[in-house]
Amino acid sequence: MALEFSPQAHKRLQALRTRYPTAQAACLPALWIAQEEFGHVSAEAVELVARALALPPAHVHGVVTFYTMYHRRQPGRHHLQLCTNIACMVNGAYDVSAHLQAKLGIKPGETTADGRFTLSEVECLACCGQAPAMLVNDVYHYDLTREKVDELLGSLAAEGTGHA
């Protein structure tokens, strides 16, 4: 079965298109709608957005591959996006990354076998004053240390298990 937007997503896309002067300007929020709808932006979703906006698929693909906020593969239940830009780097982001990799058994860009965690290294989360920082799904975590990471992973792992 071909990928299609839900009626609600179609309505959102139509409303979105009226708020932007060009289809290119509407591309980013349209891709966000696709990601919300399907969990990630697959090649098929790129084609769907291109058709919805009457844009060349190559343009939409270029946008998806440029921005790290779009997931080209389904991320795990908890998407850990660790900033490794300069402020975070000098404040220990690579130490935090190594610790996360050791704890989870994955490298950046990978998802744990159980599908619970995806680890990504991203450029900037705009939290330079509280570096190193990480975005977990939509929640920011600041001033990370190995201990804070262990506590965070423990709380995330306990979600849905009935354990506190």
Lowest model confidence (mean pLDDT) among 68-82, 98-112, 128-142: 68-82
- What's the pLDDT at 159? 79
pLDDT value of residue 148:
97
Mean residue pLDDT of the chain comes to 92
Confidence of residue 87 (pLDDT cuts 50, 70, 90): very high
Mark 130-162 as b/e (b = at least 16 C-beta within 10 Å): ebbbbbbeeeebeebeeeebeebbeebeeeeee
Band of pLDDT at residue 67, cut at 50, 70 and 90:
confident
pLDDT at 160: 58
Statement: residue 39 has pLDDT above 50: yes
pLDDT number for residue 162: 45
Q: Which amino acid is at 55?
A: L
pLDDT over 90 (residue 53): yes
CA angle 14, 17, 19 (to 5 degrees): 120
Q: Write the pLDDT tens digit of every residue in 72-86.
A: 888 899 999 999 999
Position 8 scores a pLDDT of 96
Q: How many CB atoms lie within 10 A of CB 50?
A: 19
Q: Which pLDDT score, from 0 to 100, does residue 1 have?
A: 61
**Was domain 78-158 assigned CATH 3.30.70.1150?**
no
* Domain parsing of the chain, residue ranges: 8-66, 78-158
Cβ atoms of residues 34 and 41 within 8 Å: yes
Mark out the alpha helices in 3-162 (DSSP H runs): 7-19, 23-38, 43-53, 57-66, 86-90, 93-104, 146-158
The whole-number average pLDDT for the span 116-133 is: 94
71 alpha-carbon distance from chain centroid: 5
Contact 77, 115 (CB under 8 A): yes
